[in-house]
Amino acid sequence: MPSHNQGTVDPPKTQRGLGKASSEDLRSSFASSPLFNGLTPEDIRKKYQEEVLDGVINDGGHTFGTFNPNYEDAPSMKDVETGAAGKPASAFSPNPSSPGEGSTNPEDQPAAPEGFGETPSATPFAGVGSQLDPQASSQVISKQTLGSYGLGKSSN
């Protein structure tokens, strides 16, 4: 299936008035925007691929610090630690056991019943869904590029 290139918008130049913004005011307010610095649509796609899809995003410590959208450190379901003391029953289910009479401390929680939640529910629609390990899917997703997406087709 062929990929799709999203068109870009070339807004009309406007003067300030009722219901209209001033194009020049917007340009001066957002002077560093790629829309106003002479980049072509292809330049913008290339910059997005390099800085967002392939790069590491750094919010300067505002919320998350750094974030790698390539999911290089995605977990594997087989590595999820399970058991007592507040740990999940499995990679697919929380532990349903109560910590016991008079306690709300997760450290007092026993292990889940044997076999509880070890088999994920089937995915209701097309695709592998819960059956696919995040680590495996992330390795495939991280190699995607703009323009490689096919409508209705997964990368797996």
Q: How large is the average pLDDT for residues 65-89?
A: 86
At residue 108, the 3 state secondary structure works out as: helix
In this prediction the pTM is 0.50
On the 0-12 / 13-18 / 19+ scale of CB atoms within 10 A, 145 is exposed
For residue 30, what pLDDT band results from cuts at 50, 70 and 90?
confident
Residue ranges of the domains in the chain?
Answer: 19-73, 75-113
What confidence tens digit (pLDDT) does each residue in 34-57 have? Answer: 777 777 888 888 888 888 888 888
For residue 150, what pLDDT band results from cuts at 50, 70 and 90?
low
- In whole angstroms, give the CA distance from residue 52 to residue 46: 10
Mean pLDDT taken over the chain: 82
Share of the chain above pLDDT 90, in %: 21
User: pLDDT at position 39, please?
Assistant: 79
- In whole angstroms, give the CA distance from residue 52 to residue 70: 9
For residue 144, what pLDDT band results from cuts at 50, 70 and 90?
confident
CB neighbours of residue 91 within 10 Å: 19
For residue 152, what pLDDT band results from cuts at 50, 70 and 90?
low
Q: Evaluate whether 156 touches 132 at the Cβ level (below 8 Å).
A: yes
Q: Evaluate whether 149 touches 6 at the Cβ level (below 8 Å).
A: no
